[in-house]
Amino acid sequence: MTRNLPTSSARIEEDISALAAITEPDRPYTRRAFTPMFLKGRNWLAQRFQAAGLTTHIDAAGNLIGSRKGRKPGLGTIMLGSHTDTVPDGGRYDGIAGVSAALEVARALENQGIALDHNLEIVDFLAEEVSIFGVSCVGSRGISGTRPDEWLSRESAGLALADAIAEVGGNAAAQRTRSDIAAFLELHIEQGPVLESEELDVGVVTAIAGITRIEIVVEGRADHAGTTPMGSRKDALSAAAWIALAVERFATDLAAGEYHFAATVGEFRVEPNAANVVPSRVTMLIDVRAERRADMEHFLAELREGVAGIASQTGVTVPEPRVLSDNMPTPCDADVLTALDNACDANGARHCRMASGAGHDTAWMARITKAAMIFVPCVEGRSHAPEESASAEDIALGAAVLLDAVQRLDKD
Amino acid sequence: MTRNLPTSSARIEEDISALAAITEPDRPYTRRAFTPMFLKGRNWLAQRFQAAGLTTHIDAAGNLIGSRKGRKPGLGTIMLGSHTDTVPDGGRYDGIAGVSAALEVARALENQGIALDHNLEIVDFLAEEVSIFGVSCVGSRGISGTRPDEWLSRESAGLALADAIAEVGGNAAAQRTRSDIAAFLELHIEQGPVLESEELDVGVVTAIAGITRIEIVVEGRADHAGTTPMGSRKDALSAAAWIALAVERFATDLAAGEYHFAATVGEFRVEPNAANVVPSRVTMLIDVRAERRADMEHFLAELREGVAGIASQTGVTVPEPRVLSDNMPTPCDADVLTALDNACDANGARHCRMASGAGHDTAWMARITKAAMIFVPCVEGRSHAPEESASAEDIALGAAVLLDAVQRLDKD
Ligand SMILES: NC(=O)NCCC(=O)O
Ligand SMILES: NC(=O)NCCC(=O)O
């Protein structure tokens, strides 16, 4: 379907190709926050912001910001953006599509000579991905007052995070929480298969799932694999296999409901991991995503009970599952969602409402402003991999939806 | 029960304590073949052999041999022994108990002034454990003509195995297969819990199980753990969990029969093993032990069928399980077993017949002579660990059984 859009897929394609070329050689696409390659990408991007008529600066949190003054600056700022840092061996679209779409909104406003009442800021958040400091969403947490102070002294290769923020042009000591943002909007690739398989153009994100990480340690007993009768074993791997299957079953049951739910055993380490030794210990890390807190609590209760049952049936010892981190689900703002739905309809975008199973900067921005986000389709849901793929046309349509929604919110 | 034995638990205790003191510092008990610590242990042992009236030499295969001439050397040699090398962080008894018991037989013969018709050789086999060259039973395979020629060019830290054998005093090029051995006997700790739990003194080993190692690779698909719906995943870990549980179930069923059977998933590696990524690949190594070849074949057929079913139900791809190594079960010699049963009865040793689930030098010696072995109890079946424990009294009783059996075989 060829649409007559105010946004340009050609300019978006140019943004994305240019950033894709700024990658660690031999490891496309790698542009991790705080590395020289990241700064190279940022320099290119700042010029691109300026070419769109934006005034650029790095804020105290280390975010790159392109600003355009509004007619009534007292109304505050509408902020749009995402991030350009990548995971190691990442893709060309995760975050980047959102920065390019936000920039395209600014370019379209400029081209069409449209003045907004609100100030407009296009943002490239610092270090959304887990960076070399082992933490994520550094920039959006910085301006939303949710960046733990103890993070600043974390070190990577002898450098403290506070100093690394200074190196990109920020100033952690001068940080203040932004209170002038009237609304925040982000476009992101879905990183899942739903839009593509349902042939939709846009997902209007109702909530960003809570992310809980749980560690389970299964303690069995190392025994000789040749001589220990099957009935006399305490095989930590067998018990851990039952637990992994229980996690999958509980999650599948909860996911059958109306709300997004997923649980994954992503990390699984076996000791001693030797051919002829019955495994003595397995350490598993479970990643749980819930749109509704009640589902998370239900899952945790089922997990505790399930694990205790498996331990007593298999003879292994499993200490109480340990919650390593636990973030609440974040609902998106109802007014912004309505603006986005209407903007989709106005631009002929086939859309649905859906929750985000992935974490995003939007979740932190929601602490300080009316925030919401949209997803655009990506091929086979692949993400965090060089095969990540999305179409510039879909991103341009998403940018047109953002542009439309911004104009609606500007009038509110 | 205090017995009046011709063998001395005190001397055995001395042997074991002295060798235990010869260990890599801070890693008791580590005396890996070909290391300086191993040679130090060997030097001590050679003197101990000589003190027992034995003439020592290192044979072409790198085995330490203590000899005592018989009255009718034309009858050939009765050989007794085991190994003194250890795994990293191993125990004080695995192998060592057998060398000490064999030496104690020679000491008891010497003390009692008993001359045998056959020559007697006490052997400390080279590198029974998986050594720094990645292979095991180097010495017993050397003299039994079963050491693959290609092993000799294997390297560890730049040294070829052939040169490492030369460094311990052997000469791989001059190797000949021994044809003069009339019988071989080995004592070993059980490395399993059966004798201890059934309050028996000696296990007369009917057969050494075949050892088959099977690699299974489960190929799923890496996906974002937050966004990929539970029903759209190809989770390699879930499929691998089903396979591990199937291995355990098939093995438990087979082990319920009359013959020894065990199967263990000892190694299990998950990729990419990242918290928020659905596992894309699991590589598992299955260790299978069967007293009867038919059980092994039955297991392999069940495994192939089970794996194919799990693959089709979970949507992952699992190539045909790959057999990495496959050794046949080795029956022990019926005449030697009868001599050992009778020797147990004569010494008041409570005994049973049982299969060995573990591999032993005896399995290779059985290729060239009438061979058999006995087990003595060890605490909780623990082995290949510093906690490995056995009593010098039990070993002395086992040595008395060997001494008695040797005298019976000498007369045959
Ligand atoms: N969007 C995204 O990939 N965030 C990374 C954190 C997560 O959701 O696992
Ligand atoms: N006896 C013993 O531990 N042998 C090592 C090889 C094995 O059976 O796994």
**A188 a known binding residue?**
yes
% of chain B with per-residue pLDDT over 90: 98
Span from the CA of A384 to the centroid of ligand 1 (angstroms): 9
pLDDT digits (tens, 9 = 90+) for A200-221: 999 999 999 999 999 999 999 9
pLDDT digits (tens, 9 = 90+) for B364-387: 999 999 999 999 999 999 999 899
Q: Where are the beta strands (DSSP E) in B157-251?
A: 159-160, 181-189, 202-208, 210-219, 223-224
Would you call B347 exposed, middle or buried from its count of C-beta atoms within 10 A (0-12, 13-18, 19+)? buried
pLDDT digits (tens, 9 = 90+) for B12-22: 999 999 999 99
pTM of the model: 0.91
A228 touches chain B (CB under 8 A): yes
Q: Residue A4: what pLDDT?
A: 86
pLDDT digits (tens, 9 = 90+) for A250-299: 999 999 999 999 999 999 999 999 989 999 999 999 999 999 999 999 99
Cβ-based neighbours of B175, under 8 Å, separated by 6 or more: B60, B61, B142, B143, B147
Mean pLDDT of A66-71: 98
**Residue B1 pLDDT more than 90?**
no
Q: Residue A412: what pLDDT?
A: 77
Q: Residue A149: what pLDDT?
A: 96
Q: Residue A3: what pLDDT?
A: 74
A325 touches chain B (CB under 8 A): no
**Residue B327 pLDDT more than 80?**
yes
Q: Residue B4: what pLDDT?
A: 86
Separation CA A209–CA A289 (nearest Å): 6
Amino acid occupying residue B86:
T
pLDDT digits (tens, 9 = 90+) for B167-205: 999 999 999 999 999 999 999 999 999 999 999 999 999
Of residues A62, A129, A44, the one with CA closest to residue A90: A129
**Residue B110 pLDDT more than 90?**
yes
Annotated binding-site residues of B for allantoate read 213, 276, 289
Of B225, B227, B264, the CB nearest to A266: B225
**Residue A54 pLDDT more than 60?**
yes
Find, in chain A, the residue whose alpha carbon is nearest to that of B251.
A230
B195 touches chain A (CB under 8 A): no
Q: Residue B3: what pLDDT?
A: 74
Q: Chain B neighbours among A 341-380 (CB < 8 Å)?
A: 356-359
Amino acid occupying residue B190:
E
Q: Residue A332: what pLDDT?
A: 98
Q: Residue B239: what pLDDT?
A: 98
Q: Which ligand is located closest to the Cα atom of residue A188? A: 1
Of B193, B269, B357, the CB nearest to A226: B357
Q: What are phi and psi of A275, to 5 degrees?
A: -50, -45
| The pair of three-digit structure tokens given for residue A68, joined into one six-digit string | 């355009």
| Residue B358 CB less than 6 A away from ligand 2 | yes
| Alpha-carbon distance values, B69 to A206, B75, B93, B105, B118 (Å) | 90, 11, 28, 14, 7
pLDDT digits (tens, 9 = 90+) for A348-390: 999 999 999 999 999 999 999 999 999 999 999 999 989 999 9
**Residue A306 pLDDT more than 80?**
yes
pLDDT digits (tens, 9 = 90+) for A163-187: 999 999 999 999 999 999 999 999 9
Separation CA A368–CA A352 (nearest Å): 26
Average pLDDT, chain A: 97
Confidence of residue A1 (pLDDT cuts 50, 70, 90): low
A283 touches chain B (CB under 8 A): no
